[in-house]
Structure 1
């Protein structure tokens, strides 16, 4: 049976993570996802992929691990996801410790959604080269897996390089939290099959999801991976769409919430809870 989650930009002007987490768990949602942007360059040279002016939540959002840590402290079952963490902008040793710490504090409830990002200047401010972002992400994820699974971890690559290190805590989840790639670029399926545990696209009526699921399965088979679960972002409130996605065998459907005060968000959460109950 598919699970249902929610996602929101946890901004300084929206319902805060603690109240949202409690409300989501009370209504029976399986998971909650927070995205990441450390900042947005004021130059605004890189256009927003959405085709509009960049919404202000992109530079008003909390750090996802701080927000999810607060959520972990007031919930018992709710899974805590990044949707997505911009791995390319982070130090892999520090990030491995943050994820492992959250997984331990929450009792093994982390879902590690990752991406490479789209804002060229934002990446460059962190010292990352946009054209090489996917190679950087790959090495950082492979290095993090070493840190999570080995007492003395080491990694030697083009972008990540360290001799044996000790880094604890280790994640509660064996091998580390599931890593889900949030991307719809041409090589996504090969990347998922090589170093991730699942795929997390954003819903679009123009996107041929059935064909993509077939391509993902084929990439998985080539890599010797039998099951690569799929979580869908931006599902929306249409019952027919929900049914179609469930019929395709998706593991998780994620409803998006606006970064708004509680008076706006909680009624929407109630509506999504009703849709969730009907779908089951």
Structure 2
């Protein structure tokens, strides 16, 4: 099983490029995911009903561009991109641009969203968000895979267009379907390459998540990755996820300064080391980073 990192890229936390370099230097090269919220409703925000970080995030594609520019091996992604609230032609361009600039290191985590007021502000009927997400992804796939693309769906219509660059990864970057609702597996099977469930929404035990992973495996007619986000720094939970066949466990780190992020990474690495029996020591200087590994890298 692989081990990754996710966070909320806020303007008042560690710079996305510096964070990406730190994560890569510490060997977490399988993924750094950035969350997305374009805005939050002021009434709910000021009443304390929503975490402060949700209203303070960079656009994820801008943050990801900074991340890939500062690294050479780290895979990056959206965790998740609210595609129903976005123009699909523009989003297809952003995805392809980051994948192209990174040399094929992008993973496209997507979701229908849950903040109804934000959807309405974007002109989206919340009741249509899952259908709209599927339609937007269908349109983006057409753009990524055809030199001259056209698409006619329920919400998206365009005749022959030219839109380059195309993604480096063919036919397109992995599409990871986020969500935990009763119909999410249907969406994963319909148009996803992987599922990104949120461990924190499983009441901490993981038992319900494991049952749904088994359901996904039983219904799938192709290999489908499971990438669990918000995995705790708990080796027993990680062992459960590994036994369930998860490809990757992603630990969410706080939107804060370098010291707080390094403490969070220390706890995560300790849990991974306990699980795998492998360790890594990282020495930093102003000139270089030298690794002394006690075995294969745990990530």
**Into which bin does the TM-score normalised by the smaller protein fall?**
over 0.9
> Number of paired residues?
270
- 1:43-100 Cα offsets, whole Å, 9 max, x none, are 329x9xxxx8311000001110000100001111111110000001100000000000
Q: What is the distance in 2 between the residues matched to 1:92 and 1:68?
A: 18
Aligned twin of 2:136: 140
Question: Is contact 2:210-2:241 (8 Å) kept?
Answer: no
Who is 2:41 aligned against? 41
| Aligned partner of 1:107 among 94, 100, 103 | 103
What's 2:232 paired with? 236
2:175–2:192 CA contact under 8 A, matched in 1? yes
Cα offsets for 1:225-266 (capped at 9, x unmatched)? x21110011111111111111111100000111111111111
CA positional deviation for 1:206: 5.1
TM-score (norm. length: structure 2): 0.87
Superposition deviation, residue 149 in structure 1: 0.3
- Matched with 1:216 is 216
List per-residue Cα deviations over 1:122-179 (Å, max 9, x = no partner): 0111111100100000000011000000011111012000001100000000011000
Contact 2:254 2:264 in 1 (8 A): no
Structure 1 residue 25, shift from structure 2 partner: 0.6
Is 1:15 matched with 2:11?
no
Q: Find the aligned partners of 2:248 and 2:235 in 1 and give their Cα distance.
A: 15
Question: What CA RMSD, in Å, does the superposition of the two structures yield over aligned residues?
Answer: 1.5
- For residue 211 of structure 1, report the CA deviation from its aligned partner: 1.4
Give distance in 2, aligned partners of 1:27 and 1:234.
19
Matches within 5 A, 1:60-139: 60-139=56-135
Alignment of 1:260 onto 2:259: no
Q: Which residue of 1 aligns with 2:55?
A: 59
- C-alpha separation between the residues in 2 aligned to 1:214 and 1:245? 12
Secondary structure, aligned partner of 1:44: helix
C-alpha distance in structure 1 between counterparts of 2:118 and 2:205, whole Å = 28
Give the secondary-structure state (helix, strand or coil) at the position aligned to 2:77.
strand
Alignment match, 2:288: none
- Unmatched runs of 5 consecutive residues or more in structure 1: none
Does the aligned pair in 2 maintain the 1:27–1:270 contact within 8 Å? no
The question of whether the paired residues in 1 share the 8 Å contact of 2:110 and 2:177 is answered with yes
> Deviation at 1:218?
2.9
The structure with more radius of gyration? 2
Question: Structure 2: 5+ residue runs without aligned partners?
Answer: 277-299
CA displacement at 1:20 relative to structure 2: 1.0
Structure 2 counterpart SS, 1:162: strand
Shift of the alpha carbon at 1:188?
Answer: 0.8
Which of structure 1's runs of 4+ aligned residues deviate more than 4 A?
A: none
Contact kept? 2:235, 2:272, Cα under 8 Å? no
Cα deviation 1:198-235 (Å, max 9, x = unaligned): 000111225512210122123323xxxx2111001111
| Matched residue SS, 1:170 | coil
Asked if the contact 1:27–1:273 (Cα under 8 Å) also holds between the matched residues in 2, the reply is: no
